[in-house]
Structure 1
Amino acid sequence: MAKLRLSLRLAHLTLVIAFGTLLAGIVSLFERVVRHDLMPLRQRLTRWFLARLGGALPFRVRVVGELPTQPMLWVSNHVSWTDIPLLGALQPLSFLSKAEVRDWPVAGWLAHKGGTQFIRRGAGDSSQVGQQLTRHLQQGHHLLIFPEGTTTDGLALRTFHGRLLSSAIDSGVALQPVAIRYLRDGQPCPVAPFIGDDDMLSHLLRLLSSPACEVEIRVLAPIPSESRSRNELARHSQAIIARALLLNAAEQEQAEAA
């Protein structure tokens, strides 16, 4: 039964990725012909594709809260690569990702075509990246970043880094905090987190071999960026998301000390 479930899910996922690749190729070719950046169209199509990708994964998703009607800088806790299709299905979004993802076969190319902004860790170009994100927001596009800078097991949050939150201040947009958690029988799912030395293929196979788990996405009240420093925004958004995830202070202190 488990092998049949894995085979069917793999087939479904393969078809979705193949169709997404074809769609991105068509849009890329069309952009070259018209010589115009079709970012709004790419974001809408990416949302459609990510919704199908999330639907091919073994999750039952529940969304709580109201989606913003104005462009905002979204900030979320980060548990797994699966956060991206699940959150990206909510609204036309661009993501900020580590530069290595750009080199991933198929997935990196699709992320690039979907408007993902890439950053190289430790490259010393935070000012340039901040300006890039500010321009993106000023053009009226939603952008989502993971301020922890890495994934966690979902049991606690790491410290939110504030340096990239300057783009919200500079562009005059609010922060949209989002909390995502994976649950199995009411407890944190042990399979969903993508952490440590995990590799994409092994994690995907474990995920597709497992029974479906619950995903709860909480869209929280926006945080105005006016008259706040980037560090204030980081601390405030971290505290709000921690409360939404029902994390207590002791767990937070242990995570930050790790």
Structure 2
Amino acid sequence: MLRLRVIARLARLLMVLLLGAGMASVVAVRERLGLQMSIERRQRWSRFFMQRLVAALPFEVQVIGELPQRPMLWIGNHVSWTDIPLLGMLTPLSFLSKAEVRHWPLAGWLAEKAGTLFIRRGGGDGQRLREQISAQLAQQRPLLIFPEGTTTNGRSLRTFHGRLLAGAIDQGTPVQPVAIQYLREGEVDSIAPFIGDDDLLSHLMRLFAQPRGQVQIHLLPPIDSLEKERAVLALQAQQAIHMALFGAEDIEMAPRRQARAA
């Protein structure tokens, strides 16, 4: 029975990935013909695909809070590759991703055609990244970033890097904090996190072998970015997400130390 469940879930996932490949192929063909597709349309297509991808994942999803009514810079904690479809299904979004994702089989190609911005960690292109984020927000295009820079096990937060928020300050764009939490039988899920040297196929097999888990997505009150230091803005977003995930425990001491390093 367990094996049949895994096979059935993988088969459904494969069908969704084939749909995504077909949609990305349309974008690629249009590019070859010189018919560029707008970022807005790519975002809508991406959301359509991610809604179907989430339906193929073994999660029950609860969204808490209200979607923003204007384009913002979304900031979230990062636990797993599944964060992206779970958040991307909510509204048309573009994403900021590590450069390695561009080279992932199929997933990297799909991300590129969806309009993802890629960042090289330690690549020394901070100013170029700031300009890319600023340009995206200047055109009223919502963008999601994970300012921790890596995934965690869902039990803590890492430092939020303030440099990634500079583009929002440049444009006076509000920040939309979003906290994502994976639960299993009322406890923090130890299977959903995608960390360390884990590989995607092994993670999928473990995830699909288990009963459905729960995901809570907290859409928190927006934070104004006008005339703020980027470290202060990062700290405020980190505190809001920390409070949603863990309550007031240790909320002051850890973020305060991290703000000086942001």
TM-score, length of structure 2 as denominator length: 0.94
**Alpha-carbon displacement from aligned partner over 1:99-157 (angstroms, at most 9, x marks no partner):** 00000010000001111100001111101111011101111111000010000010010
Give the aligned partner of residue 224 of structure 2. 224
Deviation at 1:251, TM superposition (A): 11
Distance 2:4 2:191 in 1: 19
Give the aligned partner of residue 98 of structure 1. 98
Give the aligned partner of residue 43 of structure 1. 43
Gap regions ≥5 residues in structure 1: none
Give the aligned partner of residue 112 of structure 1. 112
**Alpha-carbon displacement from aligned partner over 1:188-230 (angstroms, at most 9, x marks no partner):** 0110001111111111110111110000000000000002110
**Alpha-carbon displacement from aligned partner over 1:51-78 (angstroms, at most 9, x marks no partner):** 1111101000000111011110000000
Say whether residues 1:246 and 2:252 are aligned partners.
Answer: no
Say whether residues 1:84 and 2:51 are aligned partners.
Answer: no
Equivalent residues, number? 256
Q: 1:67-216 maps to which residues of 2 (within 5 A)?
A: 67-216=67-216
- Helix, strand or coil: the match of 1:201? helix
- Helix, strand or coil: the match of 2:33? helix
Is the contact made by 2:243 and 2:251 (CA closer than 8 Å) also made in structure 1? no
Give the superposed CA RMSD: 1.7
Gap regions ≥5 residues in structure 2: none
Distance 2:49 2:37 in 1: 19
Say whether residues 1:5 and 2:5 are aligned partners.
Answer: yes
Is the contact made by 1:157 and 1:252 (CA closer than 8 Å) also made in structure 2? no
Is the contact made by 1:156 and 1:251 (CA closer than 8 Å) also made in structure 2? no
Is the contact made by 1:76 and 1:179 (CA closer than 8 Å) also made in structure 2? yes
Give the aligned partner of residue 27 of structure 1. 27
Q: 1:141 to 1:250 in 2, by over 3 A?
A: closer
Distance 2:56 2:22 in 1: 17
Identity percentage of aligned residues: 55
Distance 1:27 1:102 in 2: 16
- Helix, strand or coil: the match of 2:157? coil
